[in-house]
Structure 1
Amino acid sequence: MSYALGIDVGGTFTDAVASDGAGRIVSAKTPTTPPHREIGVMRAIEDLAGELGIGVGELLSRTDYIAHGTTASINALVQGAVADVGLIATKGHRDSIYIMNAEGRTLGRSAHEIQDTLRQRKPAPLIPKHRALEVTERIDHAGEVLVPLDEDEVRGVAQSLVDQGVEAIAVCLLWSFKNGAHEQRVRELIHEIAPDMYVTLSSEVSPRIREFARTSTTIMNAQVGPRLRQYLTPLQKQLEEGGLKGPLLVMQSEGGTITADRAPEHAITTVGSVLSGGVIGGMRMAEQLGHRNVITTDVGGTTFLAGLIVDGEPVMAPGSIVNQFPINAATIRVHTIGSGGGALASVDAGGNLRLGPQSAEAVPGPACYGNGGTRPTNTDANLVLGILSERGLLGGRKPLRMDLAREAIREHVAEPLGLTVEEAAIAIHEVQNAQAGDLLRQAVVQAGYDPRDFVAYAFGGAGPAHCAGYCQDLGVGEVVVPLGPVASAFSAYGLAASDIVLSAELSDPSSFPVDHTVLESHYARLDADLQRALDRQKVKFHDVTLQREIDLRYSMQVNELATAIPDTDFTERTGEEILQRFEEQYERINGPGAGYREAGVQAITYRVRAKAGLGFPVALPDIARADGPDPAEAFLEERSVCLDSQTGFVPTPVYDYARLRAGHEIAGPAIVDVPTTVVVVPAGVTGRVDRLGNLVLSHQ
């Protein structure tokens, strides 16, 4: 019997899932172990082996593949723990990264922050100017060489950067996305001087128009690539020495994996890898449950994440922003705030209660963990409210200290606000729900969708404790809490259930529609590029599907909309069909009548995404069915719980999830204890156990 493993390394916990492909799935949760996160990974694999009743060596030797989501890239960028990078640019154009296309003060900022012009600031530059050097060359907008590359100058510039001690070099030449020959030659010349130097080319990492975004993407790829390689290489070696025969795969932002030996070359695509796993898991579960439109919500130890699945597919974005710098890498659109179970509660100078974005993380963790943390978190509040038991998490392996939780809340929240500890705790709980609800409105309503058309999936260690609250205000009628064998390791399940996903793109700005022969030429080139990339993965695929899209915009507008290409042969009518899709999408987002074709439409970037299935079944199994709806056999205890500031503490039944069966129904208020989380069923809500072991919450 063989296995597929998914491992999700979060800021607080490392989650893992193993599937045997025959209906058995087990999960594990262990504390993350920064800075040596590979230790937590190996401990999680040890726990999986224990759940399966086999040795670690046997598990690894029988594993077809491990799909791994890592925070290594995003953490490196956010915290500034990146490689020293040099930049080689076309003469006269190195300052694009410092000018920032006049948008550096506003990128990634909220509407409120943008309006506060006096406090707008550019971020610190990605690299100092003495490491940004220029070379003589020029390629025009059509890809024709106007000025040959000065190779002697390149050798001198490369030697200067090597002498400065850089660990990586980013190469971003003007119009290289139309013709990458000069960039490729620059890499060859660098390797003549420094054969082991990590070199990133913009024509390979970000072949899109817009010099600033292309340069920032290339530099950030060079910044995180060496660090990602330093993390993955020893991890892969340790796994192989332990018996792993299959590949180690790394999750990418766009919702699919890439082999670990190729991931450092495209490190920037892994920035959102941990964010994508839950959305992919939601997509797989939705296929089993027959849900077409899903809001995925993941409340982990550090963050709250929200993604959308529409018509069975994740909603995508062409890029993202980190530290006010754009990243040109396709990504599942995931909205996030620092409001997880470990979010720190505080009172600001104005006397307002704040929750997050700072987090207690894995070390020291919430005060109630007893690991030295003294500041209160959302987890501490839930313990004081009776939502969590002092028996703690991880099946009792992580007992919680009520005295430490109360003292932290008293000192940092209750006394500054003139509240009792209990009043402060319910305030923290309700702020968490309100912040989550606001993020969901942004993710759903502002994207042009009606929340009533969606089912919500709630997972993560803290998600099930809050989902009924933050979904009720949004108007979502049904919330599915994935439990069963995956429980709070749902993102790890999504990793195990993912495909290999690669993309290729090219920019060719022009008026649209274009002749169908242009479409044929562009997509034939992209298809060929993807086939070569798939061949380099050295993985046996079950099947391969291609998804084509094009970024369109009205003339004189700045932002484009990614528009799907009909899955048929190109004809003279294809351009008009694409235009109709673009305008329907534009008006859905901006309102009926917002489209204005008379202004003209422009095509900017053409893109193809390949999904290559690994052929390993990871469907969730059905569980045993109950004789009737009464869950009395699962009753555990009754404890005093506060779920609402108006109601206060009331005796609340607590049920043991391990004893629940499909068909059981629980009327709120109630608590369902799961080894790795708790589910809150508020008054007026009914929880029903479905055939997969999920708890489905709906209003009575």
Structure 2
Amino acid sequence: MSYALGIDVGGTFTDAVASDGAGRIVSAKTPTTPPHREVGVMRAIEDLAGELGIGVGELLSRTDYIAHGTTASINALVQGTVADVGLIATKGHRDAIYIMNAEGRTLGRSAHEIQDTLRQRKPAPLIPKHRALEVTERIDHAGKVLVPLDEDEVRSVARSLVDQGVEAIAVCLLWSFKNGTHEQRVRELIHEIAPDLYVTLSSEVSPRIREFSRTSTTIMNAQIGPRLRMYLTPLQKQLEEGGLKGPLLVMQSEGGTITADRAPEHAITTVGSVLSGGVIGGMRLAEQLGHRNVITTDVGGTTFLAGLIVDGEPVMAPGSIVNQFPINAATIRVHTIGSGGGALASVDAGGNLRLGPQSAEAVPGPACYGNGGTRPTNTDANLVLGILSERGLLGGRKPLRMDLAREAIREHVAEPLGLTVEEAAIAIHEVQNAQAGDLLRRAVVQAGYDPRDFVAYAFGGAGPAHCAGYCQDLGVSEVVVPLGPVASAFSAYGLAASDIVLSAELSDPSAFPVDHTRLESHYARLEADLQRALDRQQVKFHDVTLQREIDLRYSMQVNELATAIPDTEFTERTGDEILERFEEQYERINGPGAGYREAGVQAITYRVRAKAGLGFPVVLPDVAPGDGPDPADALLKERSVCLDSQIGFVPTPVYDYARLRAGHEIVGPAIVDVPTTVVVVPAGITGRVDRLGNLVLSYQ
């Protein structure tokens, strides 16, 4: 019997899932152990082995692969704990990263923040100017060399950066995405001086037009690459010494994995790795349940995440923004706010209750954990409301202290607002639901979709406790809470069920449609690049599929739309077919009649994404059916719970999930206890256990 493992290292907990490919799945949840997160990873694997009744060595020796999602990259960028990096740019163009294309004050800001012009500020520079140096060279827009590379100048600049103690060098030369030979030679010259220095090239990391975003992406790749290597290399060694024969894979932002030895080279693609796992898990579950359109909602310890699956595929974005700097790396479009189970509740100077974005994280954690935290969190509120039991989490291994939760809420929320502790707790609970519901509406509607056409999936440690509330006004037909072995380790399940995904792209700005021979040339080159990249993974693939797309825009606009390319041979009609798809998508997002072909259309970037299956069937098994809808055999007890500020505390039945069977129905109000989470079924809602053991909530 062989296994596939998925490990999701979050800000508060490390979740793990093991599947044997024959319908058996077990999961584990352990506290994350910053700064040495590999300790939590190994503890999670030990717990998986315990659940399977085998030793750690035996589990690792029988594991085909481990798919790993990590917060290391995104946390490093957000917190500024990155490597010291130097930049080599074309003479006269070093300041592109500081000028920021005149958009630095507004990138990543909400409409409200953009309107507040007096508070707009540029972010701190990615690197100081004394580490941004220039060399003489020039390639034109067609890729022709106009001025040869001054190699002596490169050697001098490289020595200067090495003498400054940089840990990595980012190389971003003008028009290098059309011709990368000068950048490649710069790397060779740097390695003559410092053979082991981490060097990253924009022509390899971000071969797209637009100098600022290309430079920022390359610098951030250099900032996190060395540290990611420092984390993954010893982890991989420890796993291999423990008996792992298969590869360690790392999840990327675009929803697929890459081998750990290759991941540091493309570190920027791992920034959204933890965000992607839940969406991929949702896609796999949707395949089993027959759902085409899904809103995935993940409430972890630190964040609330929302993603979309449309027609069976995740909705993608060509890039993202971190700390007001753009990242040119394809990513699953995930909307996020700092409103997880550990979100801190506070009262601002105006007397308003705030929840997040700051979090108690794993250390010290919510006040009720008893680890030294004194600030109230969403978890503390749920304990006071009776939603959580003092027996706590992790099957009782993490008891919760009511006295500490009440004291934190009393001091920081109740007394400042003139409320009782219970009133403050329900206020925190309802603010959480309101913030999450607002994010969901924006995520769906702004993408041009109607929420009524979707089913919602709710997971994460706190997702099942809040999903009925934050989905109530959304208009979805039902809410599926994945339970069973993946109850609060759903993102880890998504990791285990993921494919290898790689992408290649090139920019060639021109009027569109273009001649079909030009399309053939571009995509033949990209597909050849991808095949070489897949060969370097040194992993046996079950099958490989290619997805082509192109970024198009109307002339004089600044934003493009990624548009799918028909999976057929290119003909003289192909360009018009692509244009029709673009305009249909444009009007769906911006409204009927918004398209204006007369303005002209431009092609900017061509892209191919390869999905390589690993041939391991990670699926959820069917559960035993019940004798009927009555769940009486699963009833544990009643406890006083407050789910509505207008009703207050009422005796509420509590059910043991382990005793529920397919077909059982639970009429709210009710609580379902799961070892790693709880499901809240408010009044007016019915929960039905489906054939996979999920609890499906329907609004009456």
Settle same-fold status: TM greater than 0.5.
yes
**Distance in 2 between the 1:489 and 1:27 partners?**
7
- Residue 421 of structure 1 corresponds to 421
**Distance in 2 between the 1:378 and 1:73 partners?**
26
Deviation at residue 102 of structure 1 after TM alignment: 0.1
**Distance in 2 between the 1:459 and 1:321 partners?**
25
SS in structure 2 of the partner of residue 308 of structure 1: strand
Deviation at residue 679 of structure 1 after TM alignment: 0.2
Deviation at residue 446 of structure 1 after TM alignment: 1.2
Deviation at residue 9 of structure 1 after TM alignment: 0.1
**Distance in 2 between the 1:387 and 1:476 partners?**
24
Structure 1 runs (4+) deviating above 4 angstroms are none
**Distance in 2 between the 1:47 and 1:439 partners?**
35
SS in structure 2 of the partner of residue 485 of structure 1: helix
Deviation at residue 473 of structure 1 after TM alignment: 1.0
**Distance in 2 between the 1:431 and 1:356 partners?**
10
**Distance in 2 between the 1:579 and 1:291 partners?**
29
**Distance in 2 between the 1:438 and 1:370 partners?**
32
Q: Could you report, residue by residue, the CA deviation over 1:227-256 in whole angstroms, capped at 9, with x for unpaired residues?
A: 000000000000000000000000000000
Q: Could you report, residue by residue, the CA deviation over 1:167-215 in whole angstroms, capped at 9, with x for unpaired residues?
A: 0000000000000000000000000000001000000000000000000
SS in structure 2 of the partner of residue 371 of structure 1: coil
Q: Could you report, residue by residue, the CA deviation over 1:265-290 in whole angstroms, capped at 9, with x for unpaired residues?
A: 00000000000000000000000000
SS in structure 1 of the partner of residue 446 of structure 2: helix
**Distance in 2 between the 1:643 and 1:455 partners?**
23
Give unmatched runs, 5+ long, in structure 1: none
- Residue 16 of structure 1 corresponds to 16
Q: Could you report, residue by residue, the CA deviation over 1:672-699 in whole angstroms, capped at 9, with x for unpaired residues?
A: 0000000000000000000000000001
**Distance in 2 between the 1:440 and 1:610 partners?**
30
Deviation at residue 368 of structure 1 after TM alignment: 0.4
Deviation at residue 468 of structure 1 after TM alignment: 0.5
Q: Does 1:191 align with 2:191?
A: yes
- Residue 375 of structure 1 corresponds to 375
Deviation at residue 317 of structure 1 after TM alignment: 0.1
**Distance in 1 between the 2:475 and 2:423 partners?**
27
Alignment of 1:180-329 (within 5 A): 180-329=180-329
Deviation at residue 449 of structure 1 after TM alignment: 0.4
**Distance in 2 between the 1:447 and 1:471 partners?**
18
Deviation at residue 365 of structure 1 after TM alignment: 0.4
**Distance in 2 between the 1:159 and 1:33 partners?**
38
**Distance in 2 between the 1:328 and 1:68 partners?**
22
Deviation at residue 606 of structure 1 after TM alignment: 0.1
Deviation at residue 76 of structure 1 after TM alignment: 0.3
Q: Could you report, residue by residue, the CA deviation over 1:307-336 in whole angstroms, capped at 9, with x for unpaired residues?
A: 000000000000000000000000000000
**Distance in 2 between the 1:132 and 1:398 partners?**
49
**Distance in 2 between the 1:563 and 1:92 partners?**
35
Deviation at residue 670 of structure 1 after TM alignment: 0.2
SS in structure 1 of the partner of residue 435 of structure 2: helix
Q: Could you report, residue by residue, the CA deviation over 1:358-405 in whole angstroms, capped at 9, with x for unpaired residues?
A: 000000000000000000000000000000000100000000000000
Deviation at residue 484 of structure 1 after TM alignment: 1.1
| Alignment coverage as a number of residue pairs | 700
SS in structure 1 of the partner of residue 471 of structure 2: helix
Q: Could you report, residue by residue, the CA deviation over 1:410-456 in whole angstroms, capped at 9, with x for unpaired residues?
A: 00000000000000000000000000001001110111100000000
Q: Could you report, residue by residue, the CA deviation over 1:530-553 in whole angstroms, capped at 9, with x for unpaired residues?
A: 000000000000000000000000
SS in structure 2 of the partner of residue 610 of structure 1: strand
**Distance in 2 between the 1:356 and 1:382 partners?**
15
**Distance in 1 between the 2:637 and 2:151 partners?**
77
Deviation at residue 141 of structure 1 after TM alignment: 0.2
SS in structure 1 of the partner of residue 697 of structure 2: strand
**Distance in 1 between the 2:552 and 2:591 partners?**
18
- Residue 131 of structure 2 corresponds to 131
**Distance in 1 between the 2:387 and 2:469 partners?**
14
**Distance in 2 between the 1:552 and 1:442 partners?**
24
**Distance in 2 between the 1:84 and 1:202 partners?**
18
SS in structure 1 of the partner of residue 185 of structure 2: helix
Q: Could you report, residue by residue, the CA deviation over 1:5-40 in whole angstroms, capped at 9, with x for unpaired residues?
A: 000000000000000011100000000000000000
Q: Does 1:168 align with 2:168?
A: yes
Deviation at residue 260 of structure 1 after TM alignment: 0.1
**Distance in 2 between the 1:223 and 1:479 partners?**
40
Deviation at residue 49 of structure 1 after TM alignment: 0.1
- Residue 479 of structure 1 corresponds to 479
Q: Could you report, residue by residue, the CA deviation over 1:99-145 in whole angstroms, capped at 9, with x for unpaired residues?
A: 00000000000000000000000000000000000000000000000
Deviation at residue 597 of structure 1 after TM alignment: 0.1
Q: Could you report, residue by residue, the CA deviation over 1:572-603 in whole angstroms, capped at 9, with x for unpaired residues?
A: 00000000000000000000000000000000
**Distance in 1 between the 2:197 and 2:466 partners?**
48
Deviation at residue 475 of structure 1 after TM alignment: 1.0
Q: Could you report, residue by residue, the CA deviation over 1:502-550 in whole angstroms, capped at 9, with x for unpaired residues?
A: 0000000000000000000000000000000000000000000000000
**Distance in 1 between the 2:574 and 2:43 partners?**
53
Deviation at residue 464 of structure 1 after TM alignment: 0.3
- Residue 438 of structure 2 corresponds to 438
**Distance in 1 between the 2:688 and 2:594 partners?**
43
Q: Could you report, residue by residue, the CA deviation over 1:623-645 in whole angstroms, capped at 9, with x for unpaired residues?
A: 00001000000000101100000
SS in structure 2 of the partner of residue 86 of structure 1: strand
SS in structure 2 of the partner of residue 175 of structure 1: coil
Deviation at residue 90 of structure 1 after TM alignment: 0.2
SS in structure 1 of the partner of residue 187 of structure 2: helix
Deviation at residue 68 of structure 1 after TM alignment: 0.1
CA RMSD, Structure 1 to Structure 2 (Å): 0.3
Deviation at residue 474 of structure 1 after TM alignment: 1.0
Deviation at residue 485 of structure 1 after TM alignment: 1.0
Give unmatched runs, 5+ long, in structure 2: none
- Residue 400 of structure 2 corresponds to 400
* % identical aligned pairs: 95
**Distance in 1 between the 2:519 and 2:447 partners?**
29
Deviation at residue 621 of structure 1 after TM alignment: 0.3
